[in-house]
Chain A
Amino acid sequence: MPTPEERIREVAPVWRWGGRGPITDSIDMEYKLSDQVQNQITVVRLETAAALYRALADGFGRAAQIIAGVQSGG
């Protein structure tokens, strides 16, 4: 015997539970703001990490070139 949820899905999936609909007013700025701050922090963190790894990659690349140059020169 199908569960109510399975029955809904089989017969008319448009009636599956939505949870949050278009009618509910979405003025929820207090949380949207804190989400935004959180997102901005995440963006800054990721950009910092990306810059750091780029700098490290440059450094390693340069070190590799120097070592390669020393070897071929020697």
Chain B
Amino acid sequence: MSPNRVDVVLVGYQDQGNLGMGYLAAVLQQHGHTVDMVDVRDGPVEIAASLSGRQPLVVGFSLIFQAFLPQFRRVASRLRGVGISSHFTIGGHFASLCHDELLAHFPELDSVVRYEGEQTLLELVERLKAGKDWCDIHGIVYSDAGRVIETEARALVADLDSLPFPHRPYEADRLGAFCTLPLLASRGCARRCSFCSIHTFYRTAPGKVVRVRKPAKVIEEMLDLERYRQVRIFLFQDDDFPLWRAVGRRWATELAERLHDSGLADRTIWKISCRAEYVEADLFAMLREAGLFLVYMGIESGVEAGLEVLHKQMTVEQNLTGVQTLKQLGILFGYGFMLFDPSSSFESVRENIGFLRRIVGDGSAAAAFSRMLPYGGTPIRDQLQKEGRLRGDLTHPDYVFLNPRLNDYHRLLSQVVRPWIHGEGLSYQLNYAWDELETVRRLVPGVDGIEPYRLALQSLTKESNEQLFRLVEESSIAFGAGDRSLLDAAAVQQYCEANVARLISLRNSFIAENIYLLRDASLDSAAAGPVIAPQVH
């Protein structure tokens, strides 16, 4: 047997820390199994080389988005090619909901682990280790002579606090000197947005859909991450941070009290994702005092018809009120916004731009938008299929708009605004600057020049947003009349490059002015404790 033999290798996308894999690994380790976590972006050749000769019992693929399926398939195929005969399994939202299609397209797989996989994967590993049959384990699907066999669904984890803290064997990301790692306070979402597969994932499995951890356990994990990983910025990656109704408010109040009692409120900051309707002035003022600095909201549409098609169960007014309250409280906000959805028309696109102008026209955050995509397992995909509008394939789902000219306009616009709203585009860099400014303001006392920098950043953001809004408004009108000249990719590229340069110059002047203070803050942050954390709790 190879000296570096490992029981399980988990392969996944390790952007911002993959908590799904982290929980799976922690549960396996808790039961005495050895686990390696591999980033799928390392590529088939490197992953195959690292596993060569090791023959783990199980290789588990953690697939978040179906778009990454070809990437995972190439890894699996390469592993088989170099003689790795381990049991290959896969999990995640798409795998759980579209297992038939997945098995048909991914012949290297031995099984699919459906829904929350901690217990199912553990049983699978233990059966394989003991040389026993695994075909009756609850929560799996496999193919037998071309027939798809689905075992009884496994219930969702009832008590999230029964799980160990996630295994995080990677370096924490940093914002400046400050380490940041993700964590969860809850799992599940009580809503039924038509474009989202999260609720179908949780509702198809037996058990309570929304489960919330005890605030005391959340605090324990945060203290652990602060002590052993020097984390100063926590990113709550809950599907929907538990603030709903009176029970949510009570939970949040206890969390805030414990953050103060533990001292975390004085030393760390945190971000959440939630619906705009939860944003109430009193509640969020209390959370701000406990360290909340950024709220991400899935606003998605600024048109009532769009919100209806997306089944957001929200109104335009509720979204506006939520944003307004956050601005009044001085809490940063980010948002998801689908300028294009299946109900879109040229008019609704302009109406949506009008809405974006109302929320970020003042430069309080950078403008960004996307188009809704019909993911597997979502109600809207089924609806589009019924309407004959579904296009693309398993890994690249797509659809057509009701107005065919809008397809052409969208295609052209998305290419042109790429340097603005994609990846490292101008809007993303502006939002990064906002995150950094707020982090510095909250975590480094005595910094000079905050207000002038904030005003300058806001002015730059406002100008960039307005240019983007005008581009969409004017080009959409011109395009309708057959004129494409306003969608000038070279001009947009030039504008974005020039403004990124302006932003960096502005930002560097502010940081350089405070660099000794920031350096000392960096030293304090690094001296907080040992790097190696215990893995089992």
B-contacting residues of A (Cβ < 8 Å)? 3-5, 7-8, 11-12, 14-15, 17-34, 36-37, 40
In-complex Cβ contact of B233 among A23, A26, A29, A34 (8 A)? A23
In the complex, B67 has a CB within 8 A of chain A: yes
Name 4 extra pairs, CB < 8 A, besides A19-B429, A24-B428. A5-B512, A15-B522, A28-B423, A36-B395
Verify B423–A31 contact, CB threshold 8 A. Answer: yes
Knowing A4-B508, A4-B511, A21-B436 are in contact, say whether A29-B373 is a contact too (CB < 8 A): yes
- Give the residues in chain A near B432, CB-CB below 8 Å: 18-21, 23-24
Asked whether B319 is an interface residue with its Cβ less than 8 Å from the other chain, the reply is: no
Q: Chain B 495-521 against A: per-residue CB contact (8 Å), 1 yes, 0 no?
A: 000000000110111011101101100
Contact B294 A23 (CB under 8 A): yes
Interface positions, chain B 154-177, Cβ under 8 Å from A, are 173-177
Q: Is the CB of A30 within 8 A of B371?
A: yes
List chain B residues, Cβ under 8 A from A22. Answer: 16, 173-175, 180, 235
Bound CA span A15–B507, Å? 11
Contacts of A27 in B (CB 8 A): 336, 370
User: Which residues from B are CB-within-8-Å of A24?
Assistant: 334, 428, 431-432, 435
For A17, list chain B residues within 8 Å (CB). 504, 507-508
21 A-B pairs with C-beta separation under 8 A: A4-B505, A4-B508, A18-B436, A19-B429, A20-B423, A21-B173, A22-B174, A22-B235, A23-B432, A25-B273, A25-B336, A27-B336, A27-B370, A28-B423, A30-B371, A30-B373, A31-B414, A32-B65, A33-B396, A36-B70, A36-B395
Contacts A14-B177, A31-B423; is A36 near B396 (CB within 8 Å)?
Answer: yes
Once the chains bind, are B414 and A30 in contact (CB under 8 Å)?
A: yes
B387 at the A interface (CB under 8 A): no
Q: How far, in whole Å, are A66 and B507 apart by their CA atoms in the complex?
A: 70
Determine the distance from Cα of A9 to Cα of B316 in the docked complex, in whole angstroms: 45
- Give the residues from 425 to 452 in chain B that come closer than 8 angstroms, CB to CB, to chain A: 428-429, 431-432, 435-436
Instruction: Write the chain A residue with the least CB distance to B368.
Output: A28
Contacts of B260 in A (CB 8 A): none
In the complex, chain B residues whose CB is within 8 Å of the CB of A12: 177, 515, 518-519, 522
Of the residues B70, B273, B373, B515, contact of A11 by C-beta under 8 Å:
B515
A37 touches B396 (CB 8 A): yes
Interface 1/0 per residue, B381-395 and A, CB below 8 Å: 000000000000001
Docked CA distance A57–B373 (Å): 45
B258 in the interface, Cβ–Cβ < 8 Å?
Answer: no
Interface assignment of B15: CB less than 8 Å from any CB of chain A: yes
Q: How far is the CB of B429 from chain A (nearest CB, A)?
A: 5
Q: Which residue of chain A lies nearest to B506 when distances are taken between CB atoms in the complex?
A: A4
Q: Shortest 10 CB-CB distances between A and B: which pairs?
A: A22-B173, A4-B512, A12-B519, A4-B508, A7-B512, A31-B422, A11-B515, A23-B435, A21-B432, A14-B177
How far, in angstroms, from A15 to B429 measured CA to CA in the complex?
15
Find the A residue at minimum CB distance from B173.
A22
Give the most central of A3, A11, A29: most B CB within 10 Å. Answer: A29
Judged by a CB distance under 8 angstroms, whether B266 is at the interface is no
Partner of B15, one of A26, A34, A37: A26
Interchain CB contact under 8 A, B518 and A23: no
Q: How far, in angstroms, from A30 to B392 measured CA to CA in the complex? A: 13
Could you tell me the distance in whole angstroms from the C-beta of A10 to the nearest C-beta in chain B?
Answer: 9
Contacting B516 at CB < 8 Å: which of A11, A26, A33? A11
Chain B residues with Cβ below 8 Å from A31 are: 414, 418, 422-423
**Residues of A contacting B505 in the complex (Cβ-Cβ under 8 angstroms):** 4
Say whether B346 faces chain A, with CB atoms less than 8 Å apart.
no
Q: B454 on the interface (CB 8 Å rule)?
A: no
Query: Given A20-B432, A23-B235, A33-B373, is A28 in contact with B177 using a C-beta cutoff of 8 Å?
Result: no
Taking A20-B423, A25-B296 as contacts, is the C-beta distance between A5 and B334 under 8 angstroms?
no
Q: Mark B229-252, 1 if CB is under 8 A from A, else 0.
A: 000010100000000000000000
Q: Which residues of chain A are near B371, meaning CB under 8 Å? A: 30
* Contact of A8 with B508 in the complex, beta carbons under 8 Å: yes
Chain A residues within an 8 Å CB radius of B334 = 24-25
B135 CB to closest chain A CB (Å) equals 34
A16: shortest Cβ distance to chain B, in Å? 9
CB distance from A46 to the nearest CB of B (A): 14
Among A20, A25, A26, A34, the most chain B Cβ lie within 10 Å of the Cβ of A25
* Contact in complex: A11, B16 (CB < 8 Å): no
Alpha-carbon separation in the docked complex, A37 to B429 (Å): 25
- Point out the residue from B71, B370, B396, B522 that lies within 8 Å of A14, measured CB to CB: B522
CB within 8 A of B175: which of A23, A26, A40?
A23
Given known contacts A15-B511, A30-B373, is B429 in contact with A20 (CB within 8 Å)? yes
Task: Closest A residue to B237 by CB, please name it.
Answer: A25
